[in-house]
Amino acid sequence: MCPICEKEHKEEQKKYESIKKQEKFNGLIAVSGIPPRFQSCRFDNFKTDIHKDQSHALSVAHAYVDNFTSNSQQGACLTFCGKPGTGKTHLACAVGIAIMKTMSTNILYAKTYNALLEIKKTFNKNAELSEMDIVNKFLSPSLLILDEVGIQFGTETEKILIYQIINGRYEFIRPTIIISNQTKEELTEYLGERCVDRLREGGGAVVPFGWDSYRGRK
């Protein structure tokens, strides 16, 4: 192959690989469960102009993605907790999107209420799927983002089901991002020390979002 033809071939190959990678990413995000509102979330459109701790949260998220191979091997988790409207879901989805884009691996976003509802539906004697069928849905992704943890009724059944998911991922060494409007102390009381211990193991970090809500700002 002449040098010019070889160069053109390499350029065409790069274009082809780029198209295939984009197609894979489109497929992953389509089944990720990330709502349309958050599919445009990226690190570079996360606001850091309200409070100095926002830059710290962004830095932790960046580092988590940069080291995801190691974090995945250790099952390292992140917990974003604090006030509503402070960008917790934005940053968690940005992490998930970056991982899908750079590593072409699957992630799943779910609101805790909906996850619990899916499991509870299997309690019906006419249910087509079993409880473990649904639990396994949340155990299998390379990364699970579990949003709105702690706004449920706080019944023992709910706590057991949440523990099933968190403990199951812990046992399979699969990382989870927990998002909660509760404080670290409130979340520990809600989930229980066993769950929180599992989230901390392997280098898991708790990131407080203590600044004011973005909502309503111009």
The per-residue DSSP string of the chain comes to --HHHHHHHHHHHHHHHHHHHHHHHHHHHHTS---GGGTT--GGGS--SS-THHHHHHHHHHHHHHTHHHHHHHT--EEEEESTTSSHHHHHHHHHHHHHHHH---EEEEEHHHHHHHHHHTTSTT-SS-HHHHHHHHHSSSEEEEESTT-S---HHHHHHHHHHHHHHHHTT--EEEEESS-HHHHHHHH-HHHHHHHHTTT-EEEEE-S--STT--
pLDDT of residue 31: 95
Residue 112 one-letter amino acid? T
User: In this structure, what are the phi and psi dihedrals at residue 134, rounded to the nearest 5 degrees?
Assistant: -75, -40
Enter the pTM of the model: 0.89
pLDDT of residue 65: 97
pLDDT of residue 216: 54
Residues of the chain with pLDDT under 70: 1, 152-154, 215-218
CA distances (Å), 153 to each of 112, 150, 176, in order? 11, 8, 22
pLDDT of residue 92: 98
pLDDT of residue 26: 92
